[in-house]
């Protein structure tokens, strides 16, 4: 007699895989390829960050002081993504960072110093971090632009750093254009006026920045993205900001709203707290037009609680970040693949988008996060080595690196998040993050388009021609996956070579 044939099952549906009591990370799981009937270039990755905030690219820069300030925000928005400006500074400074990013429609931002022609430049420090000083008649931003003093020019003739008058180094460049000019319009103006640079001017006459021919040519040299920039109803870049859940954060929020912030993220490692639920309710009552993202959460229970309170989006991840020590210190958290899947299942029922936050170190992780139900990915270390991240490059063991630190590291806590701990009964600070460094990756304007293309190729292999279609494959159990054993993970990586060079593009 024939034995009864076993039911044939090729790979598992996510539902089965994630219900066995294991906490899986992105690297633990692998997807089985499906059927391709479309070109990779046609994969649509447009998405929603939160209930009312659409993005054409599902990438978000973390609210961390070594990742997201105004230059990152302008660049991410120009790419179709978004940055969340960190709150590890005063409310006034955070609001000015939001405003600076929203004061232009190009991914170029210098944060220049303003001086009148009669002023003295005492040392190179007077340039701050900007490549030039902007010279206006009165020396303030609401005055007629005369030109600029280039840091390089000044250094060439001032090797000894001695004092000199601004007027002696002035490169005359009085052409200005409206702040809302995009790259193509600025390019055309530079050609038409035979100018080397143009000033960007707000409607109220405030000079915002200077865009040079060199800037325009640099940005034109980056790959063309098949996506639109993130522009809000105000015609400005879409920019987010983080706040905490303390009383004084209500005042911070007021300043951020005045600066035009488009979305706020309640920045906490454990979002399911009475403090956060109350803050969500407060924001939804006082600023119903602004989306509020709650988190962080890793369970269905936590997610449900924030959704009931009115959260428009959820940020998922506890201890999965590259600089995080939360799981080690507090014994709580979850493998990120499991966390994203579980929270997404709950959020999906209420139509709330999920941000997979932390643990992204390659494009494969992004494909996994999005296919397991996330609508966007939030990245810290992946972006921290870019030109647009705050801070200067330094050399470490012959490598060009930038500092990258956890917001719960002792260093970051003593810099600004201190306010968070001032009112606490427990005054002893415990770090939940480290300070480190990441490799120079160049401009996000260069490597994000390549990353996006790699994600499109992953989606093509899965037979998903859009984010929506990937989520449908997940829910219909057509998406099949397996857990990789340790040996399978080794096999899936580079192995058996004496030497190699790893280049992604
Ligand atoms: N995603 C992750 O795995 C983790 C992220 N982080 C990051 O580190 C930073 C700090 O995170 P947390 O320490 O969780 O910040 P937090 O501000 O949420 O919490 C700090 C402490 O303040 C308390 N607290 C908050 N609001 C309060 C209120 N209104 N009244 C009284 N006490 C209140 C909290 O219960 C907690 O004990 C954030 O930027 C966060 O994103 C830190 C650890 C883990
Ligand atoms: O345990 C933590 N201690 C910290 O000090 C810390 N700072 C940031 N974060 C979280 O990590 C995310 C970024 O992670 P990646 O570098 O892996 O992208 C971020 O987006 C945060 O969610 C922290 N987690
Ligand atoms: K970690």
310-353 pLDDT tens trace: 999 999 999 999 999 999 999 999 999 999 999 999 999 999 99
Q: Please give the Cα distance from 261 to 257 (Å, whole number).
A: 5
Give yes or no: residues 288 and 409 share one domain: yes
Ligand 2 in reach of 62 Cβ (< 6 A): yes
Is residue 416 very low, low, confident or very high in pLDDT (cuts 50, 70, 90)?
low
Give yes or no: residues 145 and 246 share one domain: no
Q: Average of pLDDT values for 247-269?
A: 98
Is the residue at 208 inside a domain?
yes
List the CATH number of the domain containing 236: 3.20.20.70
Is the residue at 7 inside a domain?
no
Instruction: Using alpha carbons only, give the angle 291, 231, 217 rounded to the nearest 5 degrees.
Output: 140
Give yes or no: residues 52 and 92 share one domain: yes
**Helix/strand/coil for 85:** strand
Instruction: Tell me which of 125-129, 228-232, 440-444 is least confident.
Output: 125-129
> Please, what is the average pLDDT of the chain?
93
Is the residue at 19 inside a domain?
no
Ligand 2 in reach of 339 Cβ (< 6 A): no
Instruction: Tell me which of 166-180, 350-364, 458-472 is least confident.
Output: 166-180
Which one of 268, 336, 340, 422 would you pick to mutate in the ligand 1 pocket, going by the greatest count of ligand atoms within 8 A of its CB? 268
Domains in the chain, number: 2
Give yes or no: residues 465 and 318 share one domain: yes
Q: Which parts of 423-505 fold into alpha helices (H)?
A: 444-462, 467-475, 486-492
Instruction: Tell me which of 91-100, 214-223, 417-426 is least confident.
Output: 417-426
Answer yes or no: is pLDDT of 122 > 80. yes
Q: What is the pLDDT of residues 367-396, one digit of tens each?
A: 999 999 999 999 999 999 999 999 999 999
Give yes or no: residues 193 and 339 share one domain: no
Q: What is the pLDDT of residues 453-490, one digit of tens each?
A: 999 999 999 999 999 999 999 999 999 999 999 999 99
| 394 C-alpha to ligand 3 centroid (Å) | 25
Is the residue at 10 inside a domain?
no
Ligand 1 in reach of 325 Cβ (< 6 A): no
Using the 3D structure, point to which of 220, 240, 266 is the last residue of a domain.
Answer: 220
Ligand 2 in reach of 406 Cβ (< 6 A): yes
* Residue 496 structure tokens: 């058996």
Who's near 321: CB < 8 A, 6+ residues apart? 357, 358, 359, 380, 381, 406, 433
Is the residue at 93 inside a domain?
yes
Q: Please give the Cα distance from 40 to 264 (Å, whole number).
A: 33
List the CATH number of the domain containing 154: 3.10.580.10
* Residue 90 structure tokens: 């005063």
Give yes or no: residues 478 and 368 share one domain: yes
Give the side-chain half-sphere CA count within 13 A for 371: 31
Give yes or no: residues 395 and 249 share one domain: yes
Is residue 8 very low, low, confident or very high in pLDDT (cuts 50, 70, 90)?
confident
Q: Name the β-bridge partners of 30.
A: 482
**Cis amide bond preceding 397, omega within 30:** no
| 27 C-alpha to ligand 3 centroid (Å) | 13
Structural domain for 122, as ranges: 113-220
Using the 3D structure, point to which of 195, 220, 245 is the last residue of a domain.
Answer: 220
Is the residue at 5 inside a domain?
no
ipTM associated with this complex: 0.98
Query: Can you tell me which residue has the tokens 């593009």?
Result: 505
Closest by CA position to 323, among listed 401, 438, 419, 240: 438
Give yes or no: residues 288 and 413 share one domain: yes
Is the residue at 12 inside a domain?
no
Q: Average of pLDDT values for 129-150?
A: 92
Instruction: Using alpha carbons only, give the angle 193, 194, 198 rounded to the nearest 5 degrees.
Output: 65
Give yes or no: residues 307 and 425 share one domain: yes
Give yes or no: residues 196 and 95 share one domain: no
Percent of the chain with pLDDT over 90: 85
Q: What is the pLDDT of residues 300-312, one digit of tens each?
A: 999 999 999 999 9
Is the residue at 505 inside a domain?
no
Q: What is the pLDDT of residues 226-240, one digit of tens each?
A: 678 999 998 999 999
What are the backbone dihedrals phi and psi of residue 318, each rounded to the nearest 5 degrees, phi first?
-140, 110
Which one of 270, 296, 323, 329 would you pick to mutate in the ligand 2 pocket, going by the greatest count of ligand atoms within 8 A of its CB? 323
* Residue 272 structure tokens: 């399911």
Q: Please give the Cα distance from 103 to 106 (Å, whole number).
A: 9
Give yes or no: residues 308 and 384 share one domain: yes
* Residue 440 structure tokens: 């120079």
Provide the annotated binding site for NAD(+): 267-269, 317-319
Give yes or no: residues 349 and 434 share one domain: yes
Give the side-chain half-sphere CA count within 13 A for 169: 24
**Alpha-carbon distances of 272 from 75, 154, 297, 299, 339, rounded to whole Å:** 32, 54, 7, 10, 15
Is residue 33 very low, low, confident or very high in pLDDT (cuts 50, 70, 90)?
very high
Using the 3D structure, point to which of 186, 220, 254 is the last residue of a domain.
Answer: 220
Is residue 6 very low, low, confident or very high in pLDDT (cuts 50, 70, 90)?
confident
What are the backbone dihedrals phi and psi of residue 147, each rounded to the nearest 5 degrees, phi first?
165, -150
Q: Catalytic site residues?
A: 324, 420
Provide the annotated binding site: 267-269, 317-319, 321-322, 324, 357-359, 380-381, 404-408, 432
């Amino acid at each position: 007699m024939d034995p009864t044939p076993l039911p044939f099952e090729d790979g598992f549906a996510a539902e089965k895989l994630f219900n066995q009591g294991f906490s899986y990370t992105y690297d633990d799981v692998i997807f089985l390829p499906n059927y391709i009937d479309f070109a990779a270039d046609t994969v649509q990755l447009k998405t929603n960050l939160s209930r009312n905030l659409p993005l054409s690219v599902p990438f978000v820069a973390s609210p961390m002081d070594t990742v997201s300030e105004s230059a990152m925000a302008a660049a991410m928005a120009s790419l179709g993504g978004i940055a969340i400006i960190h709150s590890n500074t005063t409310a006034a400074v955070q609001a000015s960072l939001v405003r600076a990013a929203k004061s232009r429609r190009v991914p170029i931002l210098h944060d220049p110093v303003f001086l009148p022609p009669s002023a003295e430049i005492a040392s190179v420090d007077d340039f701050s971090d900007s490549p030039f000083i902007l010279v206006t008649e009165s020396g303030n931003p609401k005055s007629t632009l005369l030109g600029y003093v280039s840091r390089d020019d000044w250094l060439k003739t001032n090797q000894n750093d001695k004092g000199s008058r601004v007027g002696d180094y002035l490169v005359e460049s009085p052409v200005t254009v409206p702040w809302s000019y995009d790259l193509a319009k600025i390019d055309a103006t530079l050609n038409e006026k035979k100018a080397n640079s143009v000033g960007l001017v707000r409607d109220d006459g405030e000079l915002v920045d200077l865009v040079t021919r060199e800037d325009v040519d640099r940005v034109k040299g980056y790959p063309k993205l098949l996506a639109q920039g993130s522009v809000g109803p105000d015609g400005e870049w879409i920019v987010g900001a983080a706040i905490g859940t303390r009383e004084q954060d209500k005042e911070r929020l007021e300043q951020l709203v005045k600066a035009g912030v488009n979305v706020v993220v309640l920045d906490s490692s454990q979002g399911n707290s009475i403090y956060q639920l109350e803050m969500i309710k407060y924001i939804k009552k006082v600023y119903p037009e602004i989306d509020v993202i709650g988190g962080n959460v890793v369970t269905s229970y936590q997610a449900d609680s924030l959704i009931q309170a009115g959260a428009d989006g959820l940020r998922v991840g506890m201890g999965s970040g590259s600089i995080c020590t939360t799981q080690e210190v507090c014994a709580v958290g979850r493998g990120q693949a499991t966390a994203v899947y579980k929270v997404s299942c709950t959020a999906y029922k209420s139509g709330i988008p999920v941000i997979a936050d932390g643990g992204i170190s390659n494009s494969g992780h992004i494909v996994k996060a999005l296919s397991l139900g996330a609508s966007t990915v939030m990245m810290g270390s992946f972006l921290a080595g870019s030109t647009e991240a705050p801070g200067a490059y330094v050399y470490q063991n012959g490598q060009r690196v930038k500092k990258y630190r956890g917001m719960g590291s002792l260093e970051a806590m003593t810099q600004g998040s201190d306010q968070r701990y001032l009112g606490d009964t427990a005054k002893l600070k415990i770090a939940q993050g480290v300070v480190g460094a990441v490799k120079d990756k160049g401009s996000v304007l260069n490597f994000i388009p390549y990353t996006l293309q790699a994600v499109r190729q992953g989606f093509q292999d899965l037979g998903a021609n859009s984010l929506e279609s990937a989520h449908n494959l997940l829910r219909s159990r057509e998406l099949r996956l397996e857990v990789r054993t340790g040996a399978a993970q080794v096999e899936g990586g580079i192995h058996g070579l004496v030497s190699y060079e790893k280049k992604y593009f």
